[in-house]
Chain A
């Protein structure tokens, strides 16, 4: 049984200037222990899809299950079994790192002592031990990003949603994060759905890639299958492949939302 499965998932925003169809019927699934890359130009609907899958946003169409829980009928189950690292994070700059990690553990209903131990452990895993007692606002950009990721791992979720987790990380930290994601998969069987604009990252880290464009799935498969099919050969660069799929460069100009 797939750990993530969506069918016709859609979200239309009603705005002052008419409806915006951010996501228009996405079907995808991920098996247990799979690392799924979610690619697509700016405004394609990646974040919107993730916000639906994490119960933050109600879909306007379609259905989905996450870790065996139905999104619509069992949002509490989805929340307990999945972790989410938002594109722009979510810590308070005035609060010390340790306190944020502790609070996060308690929000996931860990007993006090366990939450404290988990905070230490996460800080160690993500290289934050030295900054545990600093306010979050005093971290560097990359440290902040690692803290965001630690927050999402607090409760050892079965399914992990990472929205551009490596944006702002130096090459060393990026490699460390890839290592961490692989370790989560190998040791805990965690299923990971991550978005990225770095094609080398998708190539190196992801078992399978889903490219979305204008709110629908434009292509999906392993990186080599995509290269073969859209780039013309196995040696094609992922960059050319991506261009061939979406008809434009990755992370290029901000595409205008599709208004109807």
Chain B
């Protein structure tokens, strides 16, 4: 256990330093959600998306999850490059904990995400977002859970494929439907019955709903309960899959 913690800290430090050296990587991730905020947000301000509240409280949770979704799903790219450099095998011949090789990386991704999320929320506040602090903090927690789970799965997938060309299409095939079917951009309440039904099959939908509740200051709702359950279950699944892949020799 002691070894797992210090190994994780070591791996986290290695990749965090890499990220800190690349201002570009740190800011680039926020660019897309920021553009949505700037050019898409104003279209919604007049729409009655949330009775008694502002549209920003609906839009911003979606943008945060979008940031988490795309940032984390593509996290695995970096390990494909490292695999080709021989860095992964060089680390795997040392006694370092296999789980730490995964956790150190995903925690770096989560830390990077949180930094970007704070930037995004500050920008949103400047544009007119008003939401309870507790709700905003709960929102960060949900997105951090999503980032942890997705980057775990992304690294697991990346370790199994040989080339970026195999990795990219799979990730796209997962992220695009996730974004569309979870109501990230606009609430699924606007959707016709069949689409709403379909979106309930998408785990991300429950996180989106729960986060919007949080931003509206509603903490004791069914949506919040489902969101918490789905996020926890998804994280558990991701950790199990990730650990198995990282433990296996020759992966």
- Cα A54 to Cα B88 with chains together (Å): 14
Assuming the contacts A106-B10, A107-B94, asked whether A58 and B89 have C-beta atoms less than 8 A apart, the reply is: no
Cβ B87 vs Cβ A107 within 8 A: no
Q: Which residues of B in the span 105-160 have a Cβ within 8 Å of any Cβ on A? A: none
The answer to whether the Cβ of B38 comes within 8 Å of any Cβ in the partner chain is no
Q: Contact: B86 with A57, CB < 8 Å?
A: no
Look across to chain A and name the residue whose beta carbon is closest to the beta carbon of B17: A99
Whether A56 sits at the interface, judged by CB under 8 Å, is: yes
Check if A63 is an interface residue, CB within 8 A of chain B. Answer: no
In the complex the two chains form, is B94's CB within 8 Å of A86's CB? no
| Cβ–Cβ contact B95 & A86, under 8 A | no
Q: Which residues of B contact A92 (CB under 8 A)?
A: 82, 85, 87
Q: C-beta contact mask, B86-99 vs A, less than 8 Å → 1, else 0? A: 11111111111000
Q: Is B249 an interface residue (CB 8 A)?
A: yes
Q: Indicate the size class of the contact surface on chain A.
A: 20 to 34
Contact mask for chain A residues 84-112; partner B; CB cutoff 8 A; 1 contact, 0 none = 10101111111100010001101111000
**Which residues of A in the span 139-163 have a Cβ within 8 Å of any Cβ on B?**
151
A75 and B249 in contact, given A56-B89, A86-B86, A107-B10 (Cβ under 8 angstroms): yes
A55 touches B95 (CB 8 A): no
Chain B interface category by residue count? 20 to 34
Q: Which of B3, B7, B10, B93 contacts A84 (CB 8 A)?
A: B93
Q: B90 touches which one: A55, A76, A80, A151 (CB < 8 A)?
A: A151
Q: Are A56 and B93 in contact (CB under 8 A)?
A: yes
Chain B residues with CB under 8 A of A104 = 90, 94
Verify A93–B85 contact, CB threshold 8 A: yes
What sequence of 0s and 1s flags, for each residue 4-23 of chain B, a beta carbon within 8 Å of any chain A beta carbon? 00010010001001100100
**B250: interface (CB < 8 Å):** yes
A93 CA to B87 CA, complexed, in Å: 10
The residues of B that contact A57 with a CB separation of less than 8 Å are 249-250
| A91 touching B92 in the complex, CB below 8 Å, given contacts A56-B249, A56-B250, A58-B250 | no
Q: Is A79 part of the binding interface, using a Cβ–Cβ cutoff of 8 Å? A: yes
Chain B: which residue is nearest A93 at the CB level? B85
Q: Which residue of A lies closest to B9 (CB)?
A: A106
Given contacts A54-B93, A91-B85, A91-B90, contact A109 B249 (CB under 8 A): no
B93 touches A55 (CB 8 A): yes
In the complex, per-residue mask of A57-68: 1 if CB is within 8 Å of any chain B CB, else 0: 110000000000
Q: B10 contacts which chain A residues (CB < 8 A)?
A: 103, 106-107
Using CB atoms, name the residue of chain B closest to A85.
B90
Q: Most chain-A CB neighbours within 10 Å: which of B18, B85, B91?
A: B85
Q: Is the CB of A80 within 8 A of B82?
A: no
Of B10, B91, B95, the most chain A CB neighbours within 10 A belong to B95
Q: Establish whether residues A58 and B249, one from each chain, have CB atoms under 8 Å apart when the complex forms.
A: yes
In the bound complex, residues from chain B placing their C-beta under 8 Å from that of A79 are: 93-95
CB distance from B56 to the nearest CB of A (A): 39
Q: Which residues of A contact B (CB under 8 A)?
A: 51, 54-58, 75-76, 79-80, 82-84, 86, 88-95, 99, 103-104, 106-109, 151
A to B CB contacts below 8 Å, 26 in the list: A51-B89, A55-B92, A55-B93, A56-B249, A75-B249, A76-B95, A79-B95, A80-B95, A83-B93, A84-B90, A86-B86, A89-B86, A90-B90, A91-B90, A92-B82, A92-B87, A93-B85, A94-B18, A95-B18, A103-B10, A103-B14, A107-B7, A107-B10, A107-B96, A109-B95, A151-B90
